[in-house]
Structure 1
Amino acid sequence: MLRTLSTKYHQLPILNRRHPTLVNGNISCIHLQSKLLYKTNYERSLKDTSAYWAEAAENLVWTKKWDKVIDNSNSPFTKWFTGGEISHCYNCIDRHVDEGNGDRVAIIHDSPVTDTIQNFTYNELLKQVSCLAGCLSDMGVKKGDRVLIYMPMIPQAVVAMQATIRLGGIHVVVFGGFAAKELSVRIDNCTPKAIISASCGVEPSRVVRYKPILNEALAMASHKPLKTIIYQRPNMEPAELGENDLDWDELMNKGRSHDCVPVPSNHPLYLLYTSGTTGLPKAVVRPTAGHSVRLHWSMKAIYGVDPGEVFWSASDLGWIVGHSYICHAPLVHGNATLMFEGKPVGTPDATTFFRIIQDHNVAALFVAPTALRAIKREDPDALLGKQFDLTSMRNLFVAGEHCDVDTLRWSKDAFQSPVLDHWWQTETGSAITASCVGLGNRLDPPESSTGLPVPGWDLRVVDDDGNEVERGTLGNIVAKLPLPLGTFQTLWNNDERFRNTYFTKYEGYYDTMDAGVQDEDGYISVMSRTDDVINVAGHRLSCGHIEEVINSHEQVVECAVVAKDDKLKGSIPFAYIVIKSDISDCRDPQSVLPSIIKLVRDEIGPVAAFKHAVFVNRLPKTRSGKTPRNTLQAICNKKPYKVSPTIEDSTVYPELEKSVSEYS
């Protein structure tokens, strides 16, 4: 087995753990060294690509070394580490045990909704994963078979993911509670050999019974899996099992362990359905070796954490962030990954995040801005965090949607640490732009920036014709091919859609479908999706930019800006605004609007033509924390819309329709 440890991205001077100041030397020295370290890594990743990523790959254990690092002979279907064989499961679990770190904590499960905390060591995780792999093998699951996982945020979900990988299978995670119809569509699309589920999920105010939803989905689906494994959650009403169902505990009690099955480098690790797939499934296919190498590299290079430290990604396993930074990256790097079953507020209150950081010595937290805004609404003066010892946490990373400056500043004060926005997508599997902490990037990047291009990403900002725009000008963000390792290699059973969706608009480039600007120093600010750019009388304006200005108003918690049809200007911005006091407590919310209009006019100019807004108590959110602006745009234009099954609480929509109707 090949294994040579690389130290190329560990060459930083000694820093204070909490603050970006030198322990030895002077501050100008570290800024210079940091800039050079990132620049050296970035330039080498583009100019000496094979050697750069070969060194990163040497940190993992391979059963067969690759023949070629990158094969771009059939662009955009780039292959990485061709000829090689690897087991991602071995590198996530067995490797750490073999290195003598089996007693190190692998998973921390903190569940305020069930009032339980549970830890799994790498030894315990290995036992669970190898046993479940044996059970799946006995059911007939083998290399290349799909296993659909429909579970809540519990350690058994990670066990199921890793057990599937251990056999060379392909895991397909659909987050627990997903609607039966949409679940059936995914079952028919990926045709799983087996399904692993749980009796229920626990929300702050209710218990969601998964088995009836799964039964309904299977009744609607044309494809029928061989068996379904059900994990009965302790101390809760058990699910009623049918003749095709197997009890998790009974299987595990009599199961046998199973060794890792190595797979070719470009064998699919998993399928993950992107949002908006209703009626036309779009599943990203993730290659095994490139993703393993990229994620292992990212834990130190981007997030600056060392093996053994606690990394908390406050996401759901059904989303890409949960895949990459709950299940895969922390484990392959030897960290303790923290799984959280709860909400930022209400389980039991807005101190939950601070309590978890203190109790588990979290070194880095990765969260969506929506969660921060929820805490901020309860704690506008950033006082709650000061009741807790947060000294373990060095950095807070945000992604998932644009983080407005006001939320970013509040978060720095509340969490007493740098707050670093970064940008990535389901398709990319990890960051496109970031402040790479392990490569010495600044911990105080320009506000509104999502950082610099991550090594491997050659980014350009172009107009609709593909011509590069001047620095500081809003445009379409594209990436020069080939895409870096670990990104998606195609869409499941649909190579043509893969090519046509992402690679035809700008020849030789990947269309991120995001809009933004790049400043003179190379920092990227991602403002909105390209379809969220409003054309106001010929002027292209970013919804994200307008939102950021509105969010800076002292009375505003958050907002969403969409395009409202206008006979004269074509489109004008329309805002849904949540203010600090409850609408019912505010005598006249519209009295706040003139000062917001003036703020937008002062910051952006009269060209924004911003005059219209409604004040609401809440905005609809997906489980990943995003605001579905397409439905909000349909509502303000009085057009039909369909509620995504990923929405946390669909009861918000009648309230929004009523607000728009009354405003009109």
Structure 2
Amino acid sequence: MNYQIRSFEEYEDAYRKSVEDPEGFWGEIAEQFQWRKKWDKVLQWNFEEPDVKWFQGGKLNITENCLDRHLQTQGNTLALIWEPNDPREAAVKITYRELYEKVCRFANVLKKHGAKKGDRICIYLPMVPELAVAVLACARIGAIHSVVFGGFSARSIAERIQDAQCSIVITADGSFRGTKTIPLKEVIDDALEQCPSVKSVLVHTRTRTPVYMQRGRDYWLQEELKGADSDCPAEEMDAEDMLFILYTSGSTGKPKGVVHTCGGYMVYAAYTFSNVFQYAQPEIHFCTADIGWITGHTYIVYGPLACGATSVMFEGVPNYPDAGRLWDIVDKYRVNILYTAPTAIRSLMQSGMKFVEGKDLSSLTKLGSVGEPINEEAWYWFHEHIGKGQCPIVDTWWQTETAGIMISPLAGITETKPGYATLPLPGVQPVLLDEKGEEIQGNGVSGNLCIKFPWPGIIRTTYGDHERCRQNYFDTYKGMYFTGDGCLRDKDGYYRITGRVDDVINVSGHRIGTAEVENAINMHTGVVESAVVGYPHAIKGQGIYAYVITEKGIEEEESARQGISATVARLIGPIAKPDKIQFVRGLPKTRSGKIMRRILRKIAEGDTANLGDTSALLDPPIVDEIKNGAVIS
């Protein structure tokens, strides 16, 4: 990894070069990967259509870079360490050679079921080794994977399968998550009632839950793998061929399929992993994310494997069987790099120091935070009690759409500030814009965060709907990628993300569109209309506050709240359940019918002293009614 930055001076030199000569900069980095054919052109782009192409004409397969090229030098090095949900169950350790063989066998099973280059395959699995293997097996044969988080509902899965027209689903009988057993196959069966494109379902055995198996469609994965060959030549892919679709919640009700491609994604995933975490073999890297989210794609699977790293993959949750579980894993595997979410840190912090005491955390050298800005109290607790004051914290800002980390300290190189993502990585050119789209120059300023030049991991399109991609990210400010986040740049030029400026709530680091939750609430019997906003939540960062209008008065409010929550959980998934539900007679609307979310947000936050002028609303008295009936926890 000759592209790893070793000092702040090297960072400044790399950043300067990446801005002055981006094609030369990224071309040099890309040279260090294995290509079947070198590219003809490093970059072609415009942000109007948008149309961005990296390493055009280059031929490769990402799995050859994640697996094959490591076999001679580190075939016996551990690629993955799997820690099960139940600490009494045996862990699984997989070397690069073993992972290569598992991926080839799985790829041959997919081919046996008719999968070919360009086909879409839905993966709905627990955090078991087969999930990483399935992702790589798809990439091996040029099929496009679409991983769906194991907490989503049948309806949410069906929407994603229908949008991508998936031909194969890979799932399990069930999953273990803390004390719960989740019936994954049952959920898939419900989803597939609306998905005629699916021809085969491969079912991994995990919980041994009795499940329905449809003849000619459903196959036990273990049985299929038994006779599969452990050799599968990698499909040659163009750098701009699709690698995966990952669905993210939008500000309109329908989830959008973010598309990433083979060449640029590979280069950016490996470059950011190597530099942000300053990875050096034989360090043990533990990212606590689920592979169902982009963090797991980039920093459990592709980034670490492309760098020949060893990654810990954890099936369970941080508080099972108690709040010391993450520290037990660090102790057990002598973890060096721990990358987790502020939600987890705040939750474990509230559990108290008794779960930290007696755990040997001396192996830790670097800590990371992802999903949302980390608050200062959690930052200091993480630094002092987990890092023992010795470990730099990389507070990373990025998105599903960016594929990898964009603004972050480089561990041990950049001076950190609690709550700050600090400085952009080489190749990332952030700007702050005002509401008129004018660039705000200098330091000590704040505005809307945009990026003015492409990086290799940039979103290429939203699957099947390029116009939606253009409108969401490139239409608000011409010639810019709009992140949807507000941002402050302090006197030192350090960046601090101040939160979403659109109708998306960041719950435990996961972006959930308000429209999607409102659509689900409105499906509940007796609901006329709803409005959803985010509010500060001590553990999750943001909670979901729902204002709900019903056809008739509510006699049993708590029962109605439980029913609405159950509807949202069924239609989207438990992660989207409102934390607070307030039943209201009406909503504050302008005379044109627009809901004044700013007022609802302030009421939800408990900041009712300055709601502004409400006299121009259609029904001004409704504001006081809502304010007086606010749900206070």
- The correspondence for 2:219, drawn from 215, 224, 246, is 246
Structure 2 CA distance for partners of 1:374 and 1:543, relative to 1, 3 Å: closer
Following the alignment from structure 2 to structure 1, what is the Cα–Cα distance between the partners of residues 535 and 472? Answer: 30
Q: Does 1:265 align with 2:239?
A: yes
Q: CA deviation at 1:80?
A: 0.4
2:150 equivalent in structure 1 = 176
Structure 2 CA distance for partners of 1:663 and 1:654, relative to 1, 3 Å: closer
- The correspondence for 2:542, drawn from 611, 617, 627, is 627
Q: Does 1:213 align with 2:187?
A: yes
Q: Does 1:7 align with 2:26?
A: no
Following the alignment from structure 2 to structure 1, what is the Cα–Cα distance between the partners of residues 433 and 336? Answer: 38
**Residues 448 and 487 in structure 2, CA contact (< 8 A), matched pair in contact too:** yes
After superposition, the C-alpha distances for 1:531-569 in whole angstroms (9 at most, x for unaligned) are 3799xxxxxxx999xxxxxxxxxxxxxxxxxxxxxxxxx
Unpaired runs of 5+ in structure 1?
1-5, 13-33, 535-541, 545-572, 579-618
- The correspondence for 2:333, drawn from 338, 357, 360, is 360
Structure 2 CA distance for partners of 1:136 and 1:112, relative to 1, 3 Å: closer
Q: CA deviation at 1:383?
A: 5.4
**Residues 323 and 348 in structure 2, CA contact (< 8 A), matched pair in contact too:** yes
**Residues 177 and 316 in structure 2, CA contact (< 8 A), matched pair in contact too:** yes
Q: Does 1:59 align with 2:54?
A: no
Q: TM-score, normalised by structure 2?
A: 0.80
- The correspondence for 1:109, drawn from 82, 102, 108, is 82
Q: Does 1:407 align with 2:378?
A: yes
After superposition, the C-alpha distances for 1:391-427 in whole angstroms (9 at most, x for unaligned) are 2211111020121101100111121223221200010
Q: Does 1:515 align with 2:515?
A: no
After superposition, the C-alpha distances for 1:69-126 in whole angstroms (9 at most, x for unaligned) are 11126753110000100110111111111x3311111111112336321111111111
Following the alignment from structure 1 to structure 2, what is the Cα–Cα distance between the partners of residues 254 and 210? Answer: 26
**Residues 70 and 79 in structure 1, CA contact (< 8 A), matched pair in contact too:** yes
Following the alignment from structure 2 to structure 1, what is the Cα–Cα distance between the partners of residues 631 and 460? Answer: 48
AA aligned opposite 2:156 = E
Q: 642-651 vs 349-358, which deviates more?
A: 642-651
Following the alignment from structure 2 to structure 1, what is the Cα–Cα distance between the partners of residues 222 and 4? Answer: 44
1:69-148 map, 5 Å: 69-72=42-45, 76-97=50-71, 99-113=72-86, 115-116=88-89, 117-148=91-122
**Residues 412 and 419 in structure 1, CA contact (< 8 A), matched pair in contact too:** yes
AA aligned opposite 2:19 = L
Q: SS of 1:195's equivalent?
A: strand
Q: CA deviation at 1:476?
A: 0.5
**Residues 165 and 269 in structure 1, CA contact (< 8 A), matched pair in contact too:** yes
Q: SS of 1:284's equivalent?
A: strand
**Residues 546 and 578 in structure 2, CA contact (< 8 A), matched pair in contact too:** no
Following the alignment from structure 1 to structure 2, what is the Cα–Cα distance between the partners of residues 163 and 174? Answer: 16
Structure 2 CA distance for partners of 1:37 and 1:247, relative to 1, 3 Å: same
Q: SS of 1:427's equivalent?
A: helix
Q: Does 1:430 align with 2:430?
A: no
1:307-326 map, 5 Å: 307-326=281-300
AA aligned opposite 1:647 = P
**Residues 125 and 172 in structure 2, CA contact (< 8 A), matched pair in contact too:** yes
1:376 equivalent in structure 2 = 349
Q: Does 1:419 align with 2:393?
A: yes
After superposition, the C-alpha distances for 1:173-229 in whole angstroms (9 at most, x for unaligned) are 0012420111111111001121111110112222111111111100023x3312110
After superposition, the C-alpha distances for 1:257-287 in whole angstroms (9 at most, x for unaligned) are 3211120001111000012488523100001
1:349 equivalent in structure 2 = 322
Following the alignment from structure 1 to structure 2, what is the Cα–Cα distance between the partners of residues 293 and 175? Answer: 25
Following the alignment from structure 2 to structure 1, what is the Cα–Cα distance between the partners of residues 258 and 445? Answer: 31
Q: CA deviation at 1:8?
A: 4.3
Q: CA deviation at 1:231?
A: 0.5
Q: 110-119 vs 408-417, which deviates more?
A: 110-119
Following the alignment from structure 1 to structure 2, what is the Cα–Cα distance between the partners of residues 365 and 646? Answer: 27
Q: SS of 1:246's equivalent?
A: strand
Q: Does 1:163 align with 2:137?
A: yes
Q: Give the % identical residues.
A: 31
Q: SS of 2:115's equivalent?
A: coil
Following the alignment from structure 2 to structure 1, what is the Cα–Cα distance between the partners of residues 85 and 77? Answer: 24
After superposition, the C-alpha distances for 1:571-611 in whole angstroms (9 at most, x for unaligned) are xx996665xxxxxxxxxxxxxxxxxxxxxxxxxxxxxxxxx
- The correspondence for 1:468, drawn from 433, 439, 447, is 439
**Residues 105 and 308 in structure 1, CA contact (< 8 A), matched pair in contact too:** no
AA aligned opposite 2:45 = N
Q: SS of 1:525's equivalent?
A: strand
Q: Does 1:227 align with 2:227?
A: no
Structure 2 CA distance for partners of 1:576 and 1:266, relative to 1, 3 Å: closer
Q: TM-score, normalised by structure 1?
A: 0.77
**Residues 66 and 308 in structure 2, CA contact (< 8 A), matched pair in contact too:** yes
Q: SS of 2:271's equivalent?
A: helix
Following the alignment from structure 2 to structure 1, what is the Cα–Cα distance between the partners of residues 209 and 236? Answer: 39
Q: CA deviation at 1:662?
A: 5.7
AA aligned opposite 1:475 = G
**RMSD of equivalent CA atoms:** 3.0
Structure 2 CA distance for partners of 1:265 and 1:421, relative to 1, 3 Å: same
Q: Does 1:493 align with 2:464?
A: yes
